[in-house]
Amino acid sequence: MTRSLPRVLLTGFEPFDGEAVNPSWEAVQAHEGREIAGHRIETLCLPVCFGESLGALRRALRRRPALVLAVGQAGGRAAIGIERVAINVDDARIPDNAGAQPIDCPVIRGAPAAYFARLPIKALRAELVAAGIPAEISHSAGTFVCNHVFFGLMHALRRRPGVRAGFVHVPYSPAQAARHPGAPSLPVERVSAALERMVEVALRCEERRESAGALH
């Protein structure tokens, strides 16, 4: 009888904002069932809906993953963005996929103003850059469903300090960018390779002391 492997949960999102695909889910689903660094990868496609996305995520967290990496699309960004902080506010510039458009509501009433990612964010960036994949630390995950899921994730894990978790934004795919003149892109297979390296580094968990600061 084999002992089951510890788990890593990767989540992506369904398409939104008129797109036919979402590169976060394209990149994540390639890893379903794989073994990386002695862990079994489980994947989940989240709806781009306030509330409902968090319900699906919480159900998946019951399976007690050792690491959770949530991934979302950031159209207009050129690099993989490793998010530093989730804030407790929903402020939707466009309706979500269920038509909801909360403005200046807390993600979770009574929860703290913010949570930091529990990831070695500098080590993750260094690994990707060394591998030739554009990557940057981001200080805002926005105020739409990505930040909502990121905040809800960290809140759900607030009493499980041993679980690593965070959020990563990924650029449009080239095919998406082709329809958005001027927009940068990164192919899904590069993003997918980046996710594998990020899982490895996040599980090893050594942080690097180097600046990724923004002046403003």
Q: 58 vs 214, which CB is nearer to a second copy?
A: 214
Q: 42 vs 83, which CB is nearer to a second copy?
A: 83
Q: Are 67 and 199 in contact (CB under 8 A)?
A: yes
In angstroms, the CA 124 to CA 202 distance is 7
83 catalytic per annotation: yes
Q: Are 136 and 80 in contact (CB under 8 A)?
A: yes
Neighbours of 105 (CB within 10 A): 15
216 catalytic per annotation: no
Q: 8 vs 12, which CB is nearer to a second copy?
A: 12
By the criterion CB under 8 A, which residues form the site for a second copy?
17, 72-79, 81, 84-85, 87, 89-94, 101, 103-104, 112-116, 122, 128-129, 131-136, 139-144, 146, 169, 173-175, 177-179, 181-187, 190, 207, 209-216
- In three-state secondary structure terms, 57 is helix
Catalytic position from the list 42, 49, 146, 148: 146
Q: Which of 148, 154, 134 is nearest to 69 (CA)?
A: 154
Catalytic position from the list 26, 83, 148, 155: 83
52 catalytic per annotation: no
In angstroms, the CA 125 to CA 82 distance is 7
Q: Are 97 and 17 in contact (CB under 8 A)?
A: no
Q: 39 vs 84, which CB is nearer to a second copy?
A: 84
Active site residues: 83, 146, 169
